[in-house]
Amino acid sequence: MASLRNTLPLFFCLLAATGPGLCSATSATDAFVYGGCSQQKFSPASPYESNLNSLLTSLVNSATYSSYNNFTIMGSSSSDTARGLFQCRGDLSMPDCATCVARAVSQVGPLCPYTCGGALQLAGCYIKYDNVSFLGQEDKTVVLKKCGPSEGYNTDGISQRDAVLTELLGGGGYFRAGGSADVQGMGQCVGDLSVSECQDCLGTAIGRLKNDCGTAVFGDMFLTKCYARYSTDGGKYNAKSHNYKTNYGGERTFAIIIGLLAAVVLLIIFLLFLRGVCSRGGK
């Protein structure tokens, strides 16, 4: 049976970033934000692959009725045990949540082929899996920081931005959104954190946003288990590919992945062309 993690049409959809019109435009919730893979690999048809496929199926099914869930598929050993979770943005409807998680699961296979751990953040949802324990553990590692262009030192603008971020920090719940004048803000924690851990994580993300992005018209600060974002009237959330650093370590660029996938697709097309030529020549 074909794995949920590997579907050929995805190669062409990922190529949409390099060639317009190859795929239909993704919705705002499907926009790629960042992804990362562990270094440890598993063998095809191994017990871990079977458990991982069961885990990813559970994530997709659960997203039809819940905005967060985690699962552990036990193996005969710890290294064969698959652990994973998904988290949808708090303002998504159930149908949109289910669609986003299904898309994330279909994309993470080509992004992380045969790696034991993988994580993928789309604009509307987040999934992560691994064969090492991470559920319920607070992790404030910065996996993505993006700051927009500076609008110059504007006392009113900075005050509005800081007020919105302070309101986010003071709000309750795992998903928080608000705005004031022309500034909008959003923050969310992964559901496996406690309330106090969520507050601590968001406090770190918001503090880093203020410090690192300064007077930028927009800013994104994604930690492993939470994120905070803001946008002013002069800036908007950027859904284009950008550099990212995964919690597994190492600088990677999504554009490199796109290039590799493009090379694979072109190779497949070339081989199919050669096969057609050879078939006609043998007649």
Q: What is the pLDDT of residues 224-252, one digit of tens each?
A: 999 999 998 755 544 333 333 333 433 33
pLDDT at 253 over 90: no
What are 66's two structure tokens? 């819940």
150 token code pair: 């500076």
Whether the predicted pLDDT of 7 surpasses 90: no
Q: Please, which pLDDT band fits residue 263 given cuts at 50, 70 and 90?
A: low
- Closest to 122 (Cα-Cα) out of 147, 97, 142: 97
Task: Return the pLDDT at 172.
Answer: 85
Q: What is the pLDDT of residue 180?
A: 81
Give the residue ranges of DSSP H helices in 68-154: 94-111
More confident residue, 273 or 250: 273
> Is the predicted pLDDT of residue 105 greater than 80, yes or no?
yes
pLDDT above 50: residue 17: no
Tell me if 177 sits within 8 A of 186, measured CB to CB.
yes
Beta-bridged to residue 42, according to DSSP, are none
pTM of this structure: 0.74
CA distance 202 to 165: 10
